[in-house]
Amino acid sequence: MAVYKRGKIWWYKFTWNGEPIRESTKHTNKRVAEQVEAAHKTALAKGEVGIRKRMPVPTLAGFKDQFTQAIEVRCAAKPRTVAFYKEKLTRLLEYPALACAQLDKIDEALIERYVQERRRRVGPATVNRQLATLRRALRLAQEWKIIDRVPRIRLLPGERVRDFVLTREQEKNYFALVANPLHDVAILILDTGLRIGEALLLEWTDVHLDAGVDSRFGYLRVRDGKSRNAKRAVSLTGRVKAMLDERSKTASCPLVFATVSHGPYRGTYLNRLHQKSRETLKLPNDFVLHSLRHTMLTRLGEAGVDAFTIMRIAGHSSIMMSQRYVHPSSEAMGRAIEKLEAQNEVAMRGVGTILGTMSTEPTFGVADNQLQ
């Protein structure tokens, strides 16, 4: 078999004494890749290298411990992420054909059968999270040279997007009903746009209630989070400052929101409290705790805040995520053109002044006068 391309890198595959040889050339140039393949064949013929014996490829079930240990180490600071991967891997292993398959035998056809079977019982979003876990496991196996390739894993379309935005009236009724700790956590999320996990792990050392040049009511600092841009400083509103001031009077541990045992509240506990309040108020099921963050960012967009500023406040990993909150109105676009026109007028006045200082006499006339 000739060299072939995977991504930007050329690979080669051939059979030697009945054993398949597949290697990466680590080169992007095809001619160089062919030379690498030829050199390997020559070395085999001379007996300079032997066929490397591959360790038995484990099944997905047999790979479970290795994958779990890797996730626990790589995501040690994110227990929710660890729990997520463990739970999704458990769901994957419930499908016997997948659990018993060797990792190098998991191909697009087997994955498709899994998708078809799971889709009968759960929605696209659930299936996609499980597929994402399978993809990460297989990529780790490839990284550790247990398998040569990762099959193409295509996610399902049609995920339900919750875009519920709380109205001012609904907000008033909601906060009149809910009690602590949900009340104060919800205020924090709604006025700062923090993620639920960021709010629940907030510590007093990251809260600064003194006014600053850019923060009238103080600010808080997020030290870690979901995305690479999660580390950020977020200014406080007046009611968040008042809430934090009040909580600080009885604070007895580093966490802003702590249980009686001084540990953080679990998101599932707050979700249950929120669900009860939502049902009492007869609000839509799409109103989840995350909707408070979505509402805050939507309000920023409606107030004319640009996408880059929203990205910094929200800690989004990409400007694309922030742009969906910005919907310029016809008036806003009109004002933008007015600003451009004002700049043009200033610039033209400057050009006119320069032109006005120039002589209107033809240059040859000056030359004639000088010759006389």
Q: Do residues 118 and 95 make contact, with C-beta atoms less than 8 angstroms apart?
A: yes
Identify whether 52 is part of a domain.
Answer: no
Q: What is the pLDDT along the chain (372 residues), one digit of tens a residue?
A: 578 888 888 888 888 777 778 888 888 888 888 888 888 888 777 665 554 555 688 999 999 999 999 999 988 877 878 999 999 999 999 999 999 999 999 999 999 999 999 999 988 989 999 999 999 999 999 998 898 889 999 988 877 777 888 999 999 999 999 999 999 999 999 999 999 989 999 999 999 988 877 888 999 999 876 667 778 899 999 999 999 999 999 888 999 999 889 889 988 899 999 999 999 999 998 899 999 999 999 999 888 888 999 999 989 888 888 888 887 667 777 877 888 888 888 888 766 655 455 544 444 444 444 444
| Residues 32 and 94 occupy one common structural domain | no
Q: Which residues pair with residue 6 across a beta bridge?
A: 9
In Å, what is the CA distance from 252 to each residue of 77, 181, 196, 257? 23, 15, 22, 10
| Residues 310 and 173 occupy one common structural domain | yes
Cβ-based neighbours of 65, under 8 Å, separated by 6 or more: none
Q: What is the pLDDT of residue 371?
A: 40
Angle at 141 between CA 66 and CA 65, to 5 degrees: 15
Which residues span the domain enclosing 34?
Answer: 4-45
Rounded Cα gap, residues 164 and 174, in angstroms: 14
Q: What is the pLDDT of residue 368?
A: 45
- Number of domains, the chain: 3
Cβ-based neighbours of 235, under 8 Å, separated by 6 or more: 214, 215, 216, 217, 218, 219
| Residues 96 and 131 occupy one common structural domain | yes
Q: What is the pLDDT of residue 352?
A: 60
| Residues 37 and 69 occupy one common structural domain | no
Q: What is the pLDDT of residue 215?
A: 83
Q: Do residues 59 and 103 make contact, with C-beta atoms less than 8 angstroms apart?
A: yes
Identify whether 68 is part of a domain.
Answer: yes
| Residues 183 and 311 occupy one common structural domain | yes
- Report residue 346: phi and psi, to 5°: -60, -45
Q: What is the pLDDT of residue 46?
A: 66
Cβ-based neighbours of 221, under 8 Å, separated by 6 or more: 206, 208, 232, 233, 234
| Residues 319 and 172 occupy one common structural domain | yes
Task: Give the rounded distance of the alpha carbon of 159 from its chain centre.
Answer: 16
Identify whether 57 is part of a domain.
Answer: no
Q: What is the pLDDT of residue 363?
A: 45
Q: What is the pLDDT of residue 242?
A: 94
Identify whether 73 is part of a domain.
Answer: yes
| Residues 179 and 121 occupy one common structural domain | no
| Residues 28 and 90 occupy one common structural domain | no
Picking from 276, 301, 296, 188, the residue whose alpha carbon sits closest to that of residue 236 is 188
Q: What is the pLDDT of residue 174?
A: 96
Picking from 96, 73, 305, the residue whose alpha carbon sits closest to that of residue 193 is 305
| Residues 38 and 68 occupy one common structural domain | no
Beta-strand (E) ranges in the chain? 4-6, 9-16, 19-24, 207-208, 219-222, 232-235
Identify whether 229 is part of a domain.
Answer: yes
CATH number of the domain enclosing 296: 1.10.443.10
Q: Do residues 9 and 25 make contact, with C-beta atoms less than 8 angstroms apart?
A: yes
Q: Do residues 62 and 135 make contact, with C-beta atoms less than 8 angstroms apart?
A: no
Identify whether 150 is part of a domain.
Answer: no
| Residues 86 and 200 occupy one common structural domain | no
Q: Which residues pair with residue 8 across a beta bridge?
A: none
Q: What is the pLDDT of residue 211?
A: 82
Sort 148 into a burial class: Cβ within 10 Å, 0-12 / 13-18 / 19+: middle
Q: What is the pLDDT of residue 367?
A: 43
| Residues 185 and 84 occupy one common structural domain | no
Q: What is the pLDDT of residue 96?
A: 94
Torsion of CA 191, 193, 198, 199, to 10 degrees: 20
